[in-house]
Amino acid sequence: MHAADPNISENRPRIRQLDEAAVNRIAAGEVVERPASAVKELIENAIDAGARRIDVTVADGGKRLIRVDDDGCGILAEDLPLALSRHATSKIDGSDLLNIHTFGFRGEALPSLGAVGRLTITSRTKSGEGAAIAVSGGQADPVRPAATPEGTTVELRNLFYATPARLKFLRTDRAEMQALTDVVKRLAMAEPYIRFALTDATDAPRETFRAEAEAGAPQDALRRRLKTILGPDFTENAIAIDAEREGLHLSGFAALPTYSRGAAVQQFLFVNGRSVRDKLLTGALRAAYMDVLPRDRHAAAALFIDCDPTLVDVNVHPAKSEVRFRDPGTARGLIVSGLRHALAEAGHRASTTVASDALGAFTAPDDAPRVYQMDRPRPAPLPRQTGFAEAQAPFAEPAARVETPATSGENLPLGAARAQVHENYVIAQTQDGIVIVDQHAAHERLVYEKLKAQMAETGVKAQTLLVPDIVELGAGADRLLAISEDLAKLGLAIEPFGPGALAVRETPAILGHVDAKALLTDILDELDTYGETTALSERINAILSRIACHGSVRSGRQMRAEEMNALLREMEATPNSGQCNHGRPTYAKLALADIEKLFGRR
């Protein structure tokens, strides 16, 4: 027996129209989730107003104060009351909701903020007089004159004072400040030609972030802005991206695989300048790096997709943080192909942080005084050597001898082999330093790339099952049938077998025995999480990687000079050779200047 619903009485309540204050508070719950949401809406309004300077001041993580000051076009005094009305906006006329050229277009932000906090708007247009209006808990005061420069200042105090229950769901001031700072930085990435400043006024005013307005070509301006926000390590180890497909243009910067992260904290995706968190795009980014990063590492990238507004719907989420492409397959394919092409063009390049980490591992003895060059005893002169491999000092461990002229190959990116130490590391000399190569890791990647190229030419061979494997998947069967052609290219042939069931007739031969149900379930899980699947191709690549590992030069094998130099030359010509199949670097390049610093020569 079911209990009576306490929300339904015997006398059914009549339907009534909520008053405007209640409507605005409900809307505020969708639009303004936390202080960072309010900052995002106000900064976007400033950008839409053509601002070239945006100053943000907050206190107590934005709970006590949020003030956004800009030098945009301003608001006319007679329009200030209308600006606080729901769905009143200057951005669109309402005739076409699929042709949005601005960040804001719903007219919900300002009335929502005024409904849950104490809001004051002060503004002046270029040709008008300054004016201000205040609203508290949804109740607006009359417009009054105000002395203010051209532009708009929006001040929000005591956020959620009108809905105190919402305050209980906010995090600490520190956490809210971090979220708020992230929002400012994301918007600053999208607008490199605008100056941004963030000040924490909790105690004494303290500027916590500043990005000056950039100039020059868009890509150069973006690179400098990313250097300001993400640091010089990112820009030094990032590849410029520029690709186009069917009306979609992809630009930005993506980091080398060896500059990966333990979490997706440096993944920034923008669509028509709008920062979005979309599983289609993040899944495409993951797929692009699939072959050069292990599953527990995450790529770093700032990617921008620009297109005609009619090709993407931004009106699918209250906070406008998600988008829907008219052709999602094109957007995903653009990211995957654009990034893979750029990574392949990077060739053997590895991140500079590999070298800095290696140099950081060197330490001088703490208990021994530094002996400078002029204080050292002058050693007996040695005959001219062609490389340190030939100078076998009595106390040195023997190294593989390399009969190579001193200058041969030094002008090449990875230099000329000089020695092999510990029967695993090739030491090469360049014009300005040395290169240390892990021979097994490097050769493993070379063999792997060859195997992939061969498979791309001949296709994935399939093995036909004597008895088809019947797998019950319920509603998921139709989703897999929709991508059956893609699966067939990878050697997995499926057919419908009644409602909710599939018959697996062929599996990739390279995988050997396959648990068909487990494989199809993994593919379905990836479709749910990322909107696409790489489970099958990952398994095939894992087998190729294992074959490459067993077929490559093993650690402990002594190599001849010509073999070491051949390895270096092949690395220079092979895409992705800067990291092994498991995402680890294959070499470290140490600059001579840094090496000299270790020995007090500089």
Domain regions of the chain by residue span: 20-211, 218-345, 347-363+396-602
Cα three-residue angle 80-184-332, rounded to 5 degrees: 110
**Contact in structure between 250 and 298 (CB atoms under 8 Å):** no
CB atoms within 10 A of CB 476: 19
Beta strands at 144-145 and 131-136: parallel, antiparallel or unpaired = antiparallel
Give the residue-averaged pLDDT of 321-345: 88
Q: What's the confidence (pLDDT) of residue 447?
A: 86
Taking CA atoms, 345 is separated from 241, 266, 389, 573, in Å, by 11, 22, 33, 10
CB-side neighbour CA atoms (13 Å) of 111: 20
Higher pLDDT, 155 or 578: 155
Question: How far is Cα 270 from Cα 311, in angstroms, rounded to an integer?
Answer: 15
CB-side neighbour CA atoms (13 Å) of 458: 9
Q: What's the confidence (pLDDT) of residue 382?
A: 41
What pTM was estimated for this model as a whole? 0.74
Q: Which helix (H) or strand (E) holds 222?
A: helix 218-230
DSSP letter at 174? H
Percent of the chain at pLDDT > 70 equals: 81
Beta strands at 139-140 and 144-145: parallel, antiparallel or unpaired = unpaired
**Contact in structure between 123 and 151 (CB atoms under 8 Å):** yes
pLDDT at 267 over 80: yes
Question: How far is Cα 123 from Cα 172, in angstroms, rounded to an integer?
Answer: 32
Question: How far is Cα 445 from Cα 556, in angstroms, rounded to an integer?
Answer: 18
Q: What's the confidence (pLDDT) of residue 252?
A: 96
Question: How far is Cα 87 from Cα 107, in angstroms, rounded to an integer?
Answer: 4
Pick the CATH number of 347-363+396-602 from 3.40.710.10, 3.30.1540.20, 3.40.50.1820, 3.10.129.10: 3.30.1540.20
Range of weakest confidence among 227-236, 313-322, 520-529:
313-322
pLDDT digits (tens, 9 = 90+) for 224-245: 999 999 999 999 999 999 999 9
Q: What's the confidence (pLDDT) of residue 544?
A: 74
Q: What is the mean pLDDT of the chain?
A: 82
**Contact in structure between 161 and 135 (CB atoms under 8 Å):** no
- pLDDT bin (cut points 50, 70, 90) of residue 135 is very high
pLDDT at 371 over 60: no
- pLDDT bin (cut points 50, 70, 90) of residue 110 is confident
Give the residue-averaged pLDDT of 47-69: 95
Range of weakest confidence among 146-155, 375-384, 449-458:
375-384
Pick the CATH number of 20-211 from 3.30.465.10, 3.40.50.150, 3.30.565.10, 3.90.420.10: 3.30.565.10
Q: Which residue has the tokens 């790096």?
A: 289
pLDDT at 387 over 60: no
Higher pLDDT, 474 or 122: 122
pLDDT at 392 over 50: no
Q: Which residue has the tokens 């023997």?
A: 398
Fold annotation for 218-345: Ribosomal Protein S5; domain 2 (3.30.230)
